[in-house]
Structure 1
Amino acid sequence: MRRLAETGETGETGETNRSHKPRRRAWTWAVVLGVLVAGLGWSAPAGADPGTSGLPEAIDTILGDSRMEGGAASVVVAEAASGDLLYQHAPTSRLMPASNTKLPTSAAAMEILGPDHTFTTDVLAAGRRHGATLKGDLYLRGTGDPTALAADYDSLAAQVAASGVSRVDGRLLADDTRFDRNRLGRAWAADDESSYYSAQISALSVAPDTDYDTGSVIVEVAPGAAAGDKPKVTVTPKTTYVNFDVRATTVAAGGANDLTVEREHGTNTIVVSGTTPVGGSGAQEWVSVWEPTGYAAAVFRDALTAHGVQVTGATRLGRATPATARRLASHASMPLKDLLIPFMKLSNNMHAEILTKTMGLKVSGEGSWSAGLAAVSGYLKGVGVDPGKLRQVDGSGLSRMNNLTAGQFAKLLLAVRAEPWYAAWRTSLPVACAPERFVGGTLRTRMCGTPAALNAVGKTGSLTGASALSGYVKDADGRELVYSIVLNNYLAASVKPLEDAIVVTLARSTADATATVKPTGPGARSAERTTDLECSWRKPARC
């Protein structure tokens, strides 16, 4: 039996390799194909043997499904405790991993920043105090907190008022200089610009909800009272930083509800168009803002006013805080080990990119994508993954330029088990069929009614023509397995059922050649069939 750590990244043909079967134990596959057909939406290709066969043959059969015709697959399975390689198909083929890119990003962040790392947002004063008046500028300084809510900026304003300042004869200066000025990642799609999952990255921003979708606002559109009325539009948090061009019309009850809510390029004008019927549901959309630093400054300035603090000067962005400035207020985020839960469970792209730039700042003093990705590469090299044989251009996997292999993901999943922070990191992975959003995450509707339910954990990934699932699952003997499945270039609406079938196969497998496994449960609820994007990216929450 070969160990994954010994296979390296060279000399593989890319074909399924069965030479590594155990000499002493034979794997069996006793999955009843009818269960997979009914429960996971997978059916065996014509001519497939429905009886018991070896694990490699079972996975090969699943990969032979017609939905993968013309596509590409990279799949690796290994025993977690020993590192023994149990199955591989094209283990060194570099494919687009989508959000599986968050696996190296999150692991590197736990190592480089530490599980207890927090982001601080401070308010500082430059100038002299004359009673309740500050003769000078007020600075709002961020370090990248992706969880900062409007309520947190309100708390900062309350602290300023409590310090005795009620008037600032100066400007409000927003210090986002911990990060560079590059707001969007490399090769991010232009048509995603107003989508919250493609929000701009800044060291100062605001999240509108406790999913912590930083850099976005929530727009709600409700129909008017009568046909012909303009719909009513509200925004969360309440702010004038964005404005609305309402072109939509209310139509009679029973009419079409086809609203579109989209921000115009380069502006904070959100256009609402289409129709919505009287008494209808309207629409709710998460929309990114243009220039999140200004968004944070606007929300903070409104909070200052609400707490009786008047700032006479203008707001200016991107100004570094002088070393002589005095702190008046401070807010700390949750620690990284807790931040990983919304980050990984809901596959939050903005968290990944902020962590990437923060790693760059920590390692090289430069809060940029290039510095951060160099830090991730350094971590990967340290755990035996050659960064010279992969391409990672962002932290989240939103870019279609990322290329990694199932073999590299499997190596990483094996290596992190030895890290002191592994337990907290593993807890952040979505859990199959766990119904709570912050437990099941993007797997909460998948593999239900199978031995993988509440057993398999893993990171999902979805973009058009790219799907991935990598993580851990226990087999029927209770042994933990590491798996990585990366599928690309398919034309089917979804290949998630194939991923699920592989993981369920692993969960049903046993190393005892005499063991039998009978199907249990009513069958599995299947993943959504439209998977151009992660299910958690389609708001309101779909998973």
Structure 2
Amino acid sequence: MILMIYLFSLVSLDSILNQADLGSANYGIYVLNLSNDSVVYARFSQKLLIPASNMKIVTSGAGLFFLGPEHRFKTRLGFQGKIEKDRLKGDLVIIGGGDPMLELEDLEQFILALKNRKIKEIEGDIILDDTYFTELSLNGNNFRFERLPVGWAWHYLDARYAPEVSALSINKNCVNVRIEATRVGDYADVVIEPETEYVKLINDMRTKEGEDSIIILRRPEANIIYVSGGIGAGHTRNIEVSVKDPALFFGTCFKERLLKEGIEFKGRLRRAFEPAVQSGPLVILDSIVSEPLLHILHELNVESVNLYAETLLKTLGARYYGEGSFVAGIRMLKRFLAVCGADTGRVSLWDGSGLSRHNLISPYQISLVLRYLYLSRYASAFFELLPSSGEGTLERRFQDFDGYLRAKTGTLHAVSCLSGYLHINDTDYCFSMLFNNFVRPRKEIERLQEEIIRALYENLTGDGTELQSKE
């Protein structure tokens, strides 16, 4: 790599950063010209920092590299036993393959498969096999179910962006809490969607004058949602809450659909503690096949869906190590980083989404990933995966950079990151800027990032042309 610094860029960006009053904040910036492999700007670029959702760049790149853009996830429906007339004498088995995009409507395909076999009664149990995402115990004989990565904070484990991870996921492993105001002073109308016995609701929410003051809590150990506080008169709110044990949530939703369609079932929902195919002959009735991985990666990055990233991480481990664990998946991320030219001894990786505060990586290493993908056969596909100005997590940012910028944001408390590509004067650049440990409002750091991008544009166009705001 040619280590040539553009002095005009160095001076202007240094001036911006020196005047920014960053105090004790830690940060690093790296900008690379992809046409000639020259360094445009570097400041603290080797510093290890928390990347937040910029981790998704690494995870998405590894998914493309190891699985390919056409990879699809498969969820299978089968049975053990025999079908006599309209009765299944045996267990129904649902085998998860890690599809993170399954919606409740998709279950109708399995219901139809049962109806096509004239099944009106299931005498056995429904076995939920999500062992694809498990970790072998130390003795190698037992499975351990990992639902959450190391470093996720307990206080957001009921949030929609931090659901448990399972090979059997449905509805993004969340329910919607719909809150509607009534008369001032009365209890608000609160319902769970979808309507299900899996989640219990305790409603202590009142309708009030003025602004909302809503409190929603699900304790990590139970599927009881507590709603309290107040909702303003005339208001309606929809708030998604994650559920505990997604596989059982999947099974409950499926059982409820069975009964609604008139298929009799009096058995139990049982989790498989070993792959179902090991416990007896299995007849497959039907399979639900996901969209191609490329489609999933687009939503993963544009909307920054953490569940998709963690599912992909575990899939990489299951596919290459036979163990759908976070540890095995992280091994695959490090293998990919090594392919990109990064020193894997100088990173600390704990999840695939970036929600863990234990992750540490440098702007230089993220730029190596962006550079590798730009030069790979996946260049055009990966470029389209990142949000453009005004899209997704950039919806309200960089609105006058349409056509110039594709970038992934990353946000946690006291963390704001931005990494991606710039296209200026028929030349492509990759960049990564990670800011940690600041006490200023995050919006000020985001404005600083925009100022840096704007300065890069003005310097690299070579004519001092300024972009005009549309506001």
Q: Find the counterpart in structure 2 of residue 189 from structure 1.
A: 153
Unaligned 5+ segments in structure 2 are 135-144
In structure 1, which of residues 443, 447, 452 is the aligned counterpart of residue 394 of structure 2?
443
Corresponding residue for residue 101 of structure 1: 55
Structure 1 partner of 2:361: 404
Q: Which residue of 1 aligns with 2:138?
A: none
Q: Residue type of the partner of 1:490?
A: F
**Counterpart in 2 of 1:479?**
427
Deviations 1:36-86 (A, max 9, x none): xxxxxxxxxxxxxxxxxx111111122224451211111111101221111
1:258-288 CA-to-partner distances (Å, cap 9, x unmatched) read 121221231111111012243x214221100
2:259 counterpart SS class:
helix
Q: Which of 400, 409, 415 lines up with 1:466 in the alignment?
A: 415
Matched letter for residue 442 of structure 1: T
Aligned residue type for 1:178: Y
CA 1:444–1:282 in 2, change beyond 3 Å: closer, same or farther? closer
1:85 aligns with 2:11: no
Alpha-carbon deviation of 1:241?
1.1
Please give the secondary structure, in 1, of the residue aligned with 2:192.
Answer: strand
SS of residue in 2 equivalent to 1:327: strand
Give the whole-Å Cα distance in 1 for the aligned partners of 2:408 and 2:231: 37
Per-residue CA distance 1:63-120 (angstroms, 9 max, x = gap): 2244512111111111012211111001111011111111111100111111111111
Residue in 1 that maps onto 2:372:
415
Contact 1:110–1:421 under 8 Å retained in 2: yes
Q: What is the alpha-carbon distance in structure 2 between the residues aligned to residue 21 and residue 101 of structure 1?
A: 27
**What is the one-letter code of the residue matched to 1:172?**
I
Q: Deviations over 1:463-509 (max 9, x none)?
A: 1111111111022x221111111111111112011111111222222
Which amino acid counterpart does residue 155 of structure 2 have in structure 1? D
Tell me the distance in 2 between the aligned counterparts of 1:364 and 1:393.
17
Return the alpha-carbon distance in structure 2 between the equivalents of residues 425 and 76 of structure 1. 20
Q: Rate the CA distance shift 1:67–1:234 in 2: closer, same or farther, 3 A.
A: farther
Question: Is this contact kept in 2: 1:3–1:85, CA < 8 A?
Answer: yes
- Three-state SS of the structure 2 residue aligned to 1:248 is strand
Query: In the alignment, which residue of structure 2 is the partner of 1:240?
Result: 197
- Residues 1:223 and 1:341: Cα distance change in structure 2 (over 3 Å): same
Is 1:303 matched with 2:257? yes
Q: Distance in 1 between matches of 2:419 and 2:302?
A: 13
Q: Does 1:201 align with 2:138?
A: no
What is the root-mean-square deviation of aligned Cα atoms in Å?
Answer: 1.6
Runs of 4+ aligned residues of structure 1 deviating over 3 Å after TM superposition are none
Q: Which residue of 2 aligns with 1:382?
A: 339
In the TM superposition, residue 200 of structure 1 has moved relative to its aligned partner by 0.4
How many residues are aligned here? Answer: 456
Contact 1:140 1:173 (8 Å CA) reproduced: yes
Asked if 2 retains the 8 angstrom alpha-carbon contact of 1:218 and 1:285, the reply is yes
Partner in structure 1 of residue 447 of structure 2: 497
- Does the C-alpha gap of structure 1 residues 177 and 289 become closer, same or farther in structure 2, counting only changes over 3 Å? same
Q: 1:354 aligns with which of 269, 289, 311?
A: 311
TM-score w.r.t. length of structure 2: 0.93
CA shift at 1:517, angstroms?
A: 2.8
Where 2:132 maps in the other structure, the secondary structure is: coil
1:162 is aligned to 2:161 = no
Q: What is the CA–CA distance in structure 1 between the aligned matches of 2:375 and 2:264, rounded to whole Å?
A: 53
Deviation at 1:255, TM superposition (A): 4.1
AA matched with 1:186: V
Letter in 2 for 1:104: V
Instruction: Report the residue type matching 1:367 in the other structure.
Output: G
Shift of 1:256: 4.5
Q: Check whether the contact 1:447–1:500 (CA below 8 A) recurs between aligned residues.
A: yes
Task: Give 1:122-201 correspondences, 5 Å limit.
Answer: 122-180=76-134, 181-201=145-165
8 Å Cα contact 2:154/2:220 also seen in 1: no
Q: Which amino acid aligns with 2:225?
A: I
State whether structure 2 residue 178 is matched by structure 1 residue 215.
no
Letter in 2 for 1:453: D
Matched residue type, 1:502: I
Mapped partners of 2:43, 2:359: distance in 1 = 20
Secondary structure of 1:391's counterpart equals: coil
CA distance in 1, matches of 2:67, 2:25: 38
Does structure 2 conserve the Cα–Cα contact (< 8 Å) formed by 1:390 and 1:403? yes
- 2:456 paired with 1:506: yes
Which whole-Å deviations, capped at 9, do the CAs of 1:358-382 have from their partners, x for residues lacking one?
Answer: 0000111000000000011111112
**Distance in 2 between residues matched to 1:215 and 1:183, nearest whole Å:** 11
Match of 2:463 in 1: 516
1:322 aligns to 2:277 (yes or no): yes
Counterpart of 1:354, as a letter, is: T
String of CA shifts for 1:408-440, please: whole Å, max 9, x gaps.
01111111122222222221101013xxxxxx1
Q: Give me the whole-angstrom Cα distance separating, in 2, the residues matched to 1:229 and 1:492.
A: 40
SS in 2 for 1:274: strand
- Which consecutive unaligned segments of at least 5 residues does structure 1 have? 5-19, 28-53, 208-213, 434-439, 526-543
Matches within 5 A, 1:228-377: 228-251=185-208, 254-278=209-233, 280-319=234-273, 320-322=275-277, 324-377=281-334
2: distance between equivalents of 1:509 and 1:519? Answer: 10
SS at match of 2:5: coil
Cα distance in 2 for partners of 1:148, 1:84 equals 44
